[in-house]
Amino acid sequence: MNTLQDAMAVIRKYAPDFNAKVGIILGSGLGSVAEQLTHAIAIPYQAIPGLHSGDVHGHASLLVMGYLNDIPVVCLKGRLHLYEGVSYEAIRNLIRIVKQLGAHTLMVTAAVGSLHEETPPGEVVMINDHISIQPGNPLVGPNDESIGPRFVSLEDAYDPALREMLAKIAERLNIHLTEGVYLSVLGPSFETPAEIRAYKKWGADLVGMSVVSEVIVARHCGLRVAGLAAVTNLAVGLSLEKITHEVTLANAEMGARKLIKIIPEFVKAVASESF
């Protein structure tokens, strides 16, 4: 049984002729971006073989196909997290569905903690690299050469040309956009002050509980990747504010207002390129 083929068979019943150009993953509290899509078709994850709904507040667990600036996009409204007990297989299937639907580019978004006081809640940071301390790797196991090579380079995991494009878009929109390294932890517990001090010494600028596995799978199957992170809090030890998921969701709205402006312009610019 091929779970990916089974998943696509179900999706094609809802949207037989839909072919995306760009995929978008929406992190905690950032689902409002999907509300911009026109002619949208939404499928719950649990209706798709190999997937299931997440149980994290702020993640709707919907695959949404529609149009943004008249460009066909597939939007993952809510992601799957390893800390929920989700398997790497489910994460692989979710990203490979984006590829199977025709997308050549993946925009990853996430709500993050900032390791720098000068990058406070409400700021948006472009991810330029990552560090992972999550257990394992989503590509462990037999490799399917029809999807991607056994060994994948992550030297330019976050595409330099796409980063340059994002920088120009943000400048044009008068949105302050810095770059930073994303460090991925397993969660669901937040980090300790000692861990944050260590991560800063490693060169991390942002910390979160996702992104990396998705990016590895995306690069393996040939998707170009860009990443935007909405800062929802200063990491523990850098602020007197107690870190909670409720604070994360509330502050994510500030970043979402900027993403709602950046992402449609990014989609339009990427769609105009030749691949």
Q: Which residues are catalytic?
A: 28, 59, 81, 83-84, 111, 209-210, 233, 245
DSSP for 8-48? HHHHHHH-TT---SEEEEE-TT-GGGGGG-EEEEEEEGGGS
- Round to the nearest angstrom and report the end-to-end CA distance of the chain: 32
C-alpha 10/C-alpha 118 separation (Å) is 47
Q: How far apart are CA 229 and CA 208, in angstroms?
A: 9
In 148-169, which positions are buried (b, 16+ CB within 10 angstroms) versus exposed (e)? Answer: beeebeeeebbbeebbebbeeb
Residue at 75: amino acid letter: C
Burial of 216 per CB tally in 10 Å (0-12, 13-18, 19+): buried
CB atoms inside a 10 Å sphere around CB 74:
28
> How far is the C-alpha of 225 from the C-alpha of 214, rounded, in Å?
10
The DSSP code sequence of 223-267 is -EEEEEEEEEEEPTTS-SSPP-HHHHHHHHHHHHHHHHHHHHHHH
Phi, psi of 86 (to 5 degrees): -70, 140
